[in-house]
Chains A and B, each alone.
Chain A
Amino acid sequence: DSGVTQTPKHLITATGQRVTLRCSPRSGDLSVYWYQQSLDQGLQFLIQYYNGEERAKGNILERFSAQQFPDLHSELNLSSLELGDSALYFCASSALARGGTDTQYFGPGTRLTVL
């Protein structure tokens, strides 16, 4: 158990809908990362927040947005969902924002299925 929690575990929804994925980092960690993993794309970095501020942005679509709240939990909002958004979404946390020297601790993931 990494100490990172994600809810829900599974989510099934229809095209065009909007969903919110939630992540609680390990106690004391200030940095949260979001990743998308699909069979054909591998593990893709989406976005990172550090202590409430956006720190790094990867290949995140404009239909997706995220935020980190004062209690350090984070939410990833996915809107106008398409079939291709079906994937596993992972959240990870690290103590600080030291870039490549940080150890990231991953949550169990949320499996999103768009029908």
Chain B
Amino acid sequence: LAKTTQPISMDSYEGQEVNITCSHNNIATNDYITWYQQFPSQGPRFIIQGYKTKVTNEVASLFIPADRKSSTLSLPRVSLSDTAVYYCLVGGPASGGSYIPTFGRGTSLIVHP
């Protein structure tokens, strides 16, 4: 099971780009990287998922270097509403086995006016 390490907290200002990095040194060949966002007292919400290189959707980009030992979630031009906890999960297809989703403590992002 790939262990992940993220910064506990980050601060930013409205309009800035925010990059949150997750380390996963023992990622397995078939593992994917998934990021979730959670607001207080709400369930986490899927943001983005990737396997290698770069993935972009309407809310974020995910950069994964060639060795895949880390990944960076990039939030362009954050606003106050992006203040939330961001979780990085790593895991692969469970084919026959069982997958234990490990959210950890995540990164608490605070966006200031």
B102→A45 contact, CB < 8 A = yes
**CB proximity of A63 to chain B, nearest CB, Å:** 20
| A92 interface residue (CB < 8 Å to B) | yes
| A104 interface residue (CB < 8 Å to B) | yes
| B13 interface residue (CB < 8 Å to A) | no
Number of A-B contacts (CB under 8 A): 82
A73 and B29 CA atoms in complex are apart in Å by: 34
**CB proximity of B19 to chain A, nearest CB, Å:** 22
A100→B44 contact, CB < 8 A = no
**CB proximity of A79 to chain B, nearest CB, Å:** 24
How many residues of B sit at the interface, in one of the four size bands?
20 to 34
What secondary structure prevails in chain A residues at the interface with B? strand
Q: Contacts A43-B87, A55-B98, A92-B43 known; A101 to B32 CB distance under 8 Å?
A: yes
A92 and B44 CA atoms in complex are apart in Å by: 9
Partner of A104, one of B46, B95, B105: B46
Q: Contacts A33-B101, A56-B99, A57-B98 known; A103 to B46 CB distance under 8 Å?
A: yes
Q: Contacts A45-B100, A45-B101 known; A100 to B43 CB distance under 8 Å?
A: no
A33 and chain B: residue at smallest CB distance: B101
| A97 interface residue (CB < 8 Å to B) | yes
26 A-B residue pairings within 8 Å (CB atoms)? A33-B101, A43-B38, A43-B44, A43-B87, A43-B103, A43-B104, A45-B102, A48-B98, A56-B94, A56-B98, A56-B100, A57-B98, A58-B100, A88-B41, A100-B31, A100-B32, A100-B90, A100-B94, A101-B32, A101-B49, A104-B44, A104-B101, A106-B43, A106-B44, A109-B41, A109-B42
Q: With A108-B42, A109-B42 given, name 11 new contacts (CB 8 A).
A: A48-B98, A55-B94, A56-B94, A56-B100, A99-B91, A99-B95, A100-B89, A100-B94, A100-B99, A106-B42, A109-B41
B-binding residues in A (CB < 8 A): 2, 4, 33, 35, 42-45, 48, 55-58, 88, 90, 92, 97-101, 103-109, 111
Considering the complex of A and B, which 7 residue pairs feature the smallest CB-CB distances, nearest first? A100-B91, A106-B43, A99-B94, A99-B99, A56-B98, A43-B103, A42-B105
